[in-house]
Amino acid sequence: MFLLFCLAILTGAANPIQTAANSKLRFQLGSPFLASLINCSVGVSCLILANLIQGKFSLPQDVFSSTPLWAWSGGLMGVFILVIAIVLMNYLGGLKTVLITMTGMILTGIVLDHFAL
């Protein structure tokens, strides 16, 4: 359990660092969408490699028919989160961006847990 808490803290620490890096990339490229595309492309490359190393690179046959439509929206939400964080970082700075987005995460987590969603 201690290791999981440490991983959660490390993940939290990575969030503002990632946003700062993406914000710098946005400044260099002149577009939050292009910076996000590069970010996601690097992420996809890492995930392909991880799946190849794990040896699991195929989907179950019924994955498309058995998975609810809303479950596929994670990628779209990920892009939304990434682009908005890049834009907010330039206007609000690192601390405010992280605190405000964390407030949204906490409130949403409370609602999801309360209603067992």
**pLDDT tens column, 4-22:** 999 999 998 998 899 999 9
| Whether pTM exceeds 0.85 | no
How much is the pLDDT for 82? Answer: 92
**CB distance 89 to 20 below 8 Å:** yes
pLDDT tens sequence across 57-70 = 788 888 888 999 99
Residues with Cβ within 8 Å of residue 117, at least 6 apart in sequence: 111
Q: 53: part of which helix (H) or strand (E)?
A: helix 32-54
